[in-house]
Amino acid sequence: MLINVDLPGRTVYAKIWRIQVGRIPIYLMDTDVPRNAPQDRELSARLYGGDREMRISQEIVLGIGGVRAVRALGYEPAVWHMNEGHSAFLGLERVRELVQGAGLNFSEAIEAVRTNSLFTTHTPVPAGNDSFAFEMVEKYFWQYWGQLGIDRDRFINFARQDLAWGAQYSMTVLAIRLSVYHNGVSKLHGDVSRAMWQFLWPDIPVAQVPIGHITNGVHTKTWLSPELKQLYTRYLPTNWQEQADDPATWSPVETIPPAELWAMHQQCKDAMVKFVRERVSQQYLRHGEGTRRLNTANHLLDPHALTLGFARRFATYKRATLIFRDEERLKRILNNPERPVQIVFSGKAHPADEPGKALIQQIYQYSQRPEYEGKIIFVENYDMNVARHLVAGVDVWLNNPRRPHEASGTSGEKAALNGSPSFSVLDGWWVEGYDGTNGWAIGDEREYKDEATQDEADAISLYTTLEEEIIPLFYERSADGLPLDWLQKMKNVVRTCAPAYSMTRMVKEYTTCYYLPAAANGRQYSADQFKLARELAVWKAQISQRWASLHLEAKTQGDMQITVGDPLQVEARLWLNGLPEANVAVEIVAGRQDVKGELLHPQVTPMQPTGTDNGALLFQGELTPTDSGRLGLGVRARPTHPAMIDPYEMGLSRWA
Ligand SMILES: *Cc1c(COP(=O)(O)O)cnc(C)c1O
Q: Other CB atoms closer than 10 Å to residue 127's CB: what's the count?
A: 11
Ligand 1 atom closest to Cα of residue 409: 8
Q: Name the residue of 394, 411, 424 to mutate for ligand 1: max ligand atoms within 8 A of Cβ.
A: 411
Cβ contact 71:4 at 8 Å: no
Average pLDDT over residues 32-48: 95
Pocket test for ligand 1, best of 189, 312, 402, 424 (most atoms within 8 A of CB): 312
Query: Which residue ranges have their beta carbon within 6 Å of ligand 1?
Result: 312-313, 382-384, 387, 409-411, 414
Mean pLDDT for the stretch of residues 589-615: 91
Q: Is the pLDDT of residue 562 over 70?
A: no
CB atoms within 10 A of CB 629: 11
Average confidence (pLDDT) over 127-133: 91
Which atom of ligand 1 is nearest to 312's Cα?
9
User: From atom 6 of ligand 1, which residue's Cα is the shortest distance away?
Assistant: 409
**Is the pLDDT reported for residue 114 higher than 90?**
yes
* Minimum CA distance residue for ligand 1 atom 8: 409
CB 433 within 8 A of CB 411: no
Q: Which atom of ligand 1 lies nearest, measured to the CA of 411?
A: 7
pLDDT at 273 over 90: yes
* pLDDT above 60 for 314: yes
Among 539, 542, 611, 540, smallest CA distance to 574 is for 611
CA 290 – CA 330 distance, rounded (Å):
29
Lowest mean pLDDT among 122-131, 134-143, 235-244, 333-342: 122-131
Q: What percentage of the chain has pLDDT greater than the value 70?
A: 99
Query: What are 483-527's pLDDT values in tens digits?
Result: 999 999 999 999 999 999 999 999 999 999 999 999 999 999 999
Fold agreement (237-501, 550-655):
no
Distance from residue 429's CA to the centre of ligand 1 (Å): 13
Ligand 1 atom nearest to 382, measured from its CA: 13
pLDDT band at 624 (very low <50, low <70, confident <90, very high): confident
SS3 192: helix
Ligand 1: centre distance to CA 108 (Å): 41
Which residue type occupies 622?
E
Distance of CA 383 to the CA centre of its chain: 20
Residue nearest to atom 11 of ligand 1 (CA): 312
Q: What number of other Cβ atoms are within 10 A of residue 36's Cβ? A: 18
Helices of type H across 442-554? 451-465, 471-475, 484-500, 503-510, 516-546
Task: Report which ligand 1 atom has the smallest distance to the Cα of 408.
Answer: 8
Specify the higher pLDDT residue, 654 or 564: 654
What's the average model confidence in pLDDT over 406-424? Answer: 98
Give which of 516, 309, 526 is closest to 419, Cα–Cα: 309
Taken in order 181, 182, 187, 193, the sign of the CA dihedral is negative
14 pLDDT exceeds 80?
yes
Compute, in angstroms, the gap from residue 313 CA to the centroid of ligand 1.
Answer: 7
CA of 413 to the centre of ligand 1 (A): 10
Nearest CA residue ID for atom 9, ligand 1: 312
Could you tell me which of 268, 283, 272 has the C-alpha nearest to residue 378?
283
pLDDT at 631: 79
Report DSSP letters for 144-168, one per residue: TGGGGT--HHHHHHTTEEEETTEEE
pLDDT reported for residue 209? 97
Neighbours of 454 (CB within 10 A): 18
DSSP 643: T
Ligand 1 centroid vs 396 CA: distance in angstroms?
A: 16
Residue 115 to residue 113: CA distance in whole angstroms: 6
Amino acid at the residue 166: G
Read off the pLDDT band of 632 (50, 70, 90): confident
pLDDT attached to residue 246: 98
Q: What per-residue confidence (pLDDT) applies to 49?
A: 79
Split at pLDDT 50, 70, 90, the class of 558 is: low
What backbone torsions phi and psi does residue 309 show, to the nearest 5 degrees? -115, 140
- Looking at residue 12, what is its pLDDT? 98
The residues near 250 (Cβ < 8 Å, ≥ 6 apart) are: 236, 240, 494, 495, 498, 499
For residues 615 and 534, is the Cβ–Cβ distance under 8 A?
A: no
Q: How far is the CA of 166 from the centre of ligand 1 (A)?
A: 33
Q: Is 90 exceeded by the pLDDT of residue 128? A: no
Length of the chain: 656
Ligand 1 pocket test: pick from 48, 215, 313 the residue with the most ligand atoms within 8 Å of its Cβ.
313
pLDDT in tens, 382-408: 999 999 999 999 999 999 999 999 999
DSSP 389: H
CA-CA distance, 63 to 312, in Å (whole number)? 28
Question: One-letter amino acid identity for 221?
Answer: K
Helix 134-141 and helix 52-60, axial crossing angle in degrees, nearest 10:
40
CA of 309 to the centre of ligand 1 (A): 12
Mean pLDDT of the chain: 95
Architecture label for domain 2-216+513-522: 3-Layer(aba) Sandwich (3.40)
Domain covering 550-655: architecture: Sandwich (2.60)
Query: Cα of 410 to ligand 1 centre, how many Å?
Result: 6
Q: Residue ranges per domain, the chain?
A: 2-216+513-522, 237-501, 550-655
Mean pLDDT confidence for 160-186: 97
Q: What is the pLDDT of residue 559?
A: 52
For residue 441, report the distance from its CA to the centre of ligand 1, in Å. Answer: 20
Which residue's CA is the closest to the ligand 1 atom numbered 2?
411
CB count in 10 Å sphere of residue 48? 11
Rounded to the nearest whole angstrom, what is the distance from the C-alpha of residue 346 to the centroid of ligand 1? 10
Amino acid 626: pLDDT: 79
3-state secondary structure of 161: strand
The alpha carbon of 489 and the centre of ligand 1 are apart by a number of angstroms equal to 23
Lay out the sheet containing 131-132: strands in order across: 131-132, 166-170, 160-163
Q: Specify which residues 632 forms β-bridges with.
A: 591
CATH topology of domain 237-501: Rossmann fold (3.40.50)
Least confident of 178-187, 228-237, 466-475, 623-632: 623-632
User: Which residue, judged by its Cα, is nearest atom 14 of ligand 1?
Assistant: 384
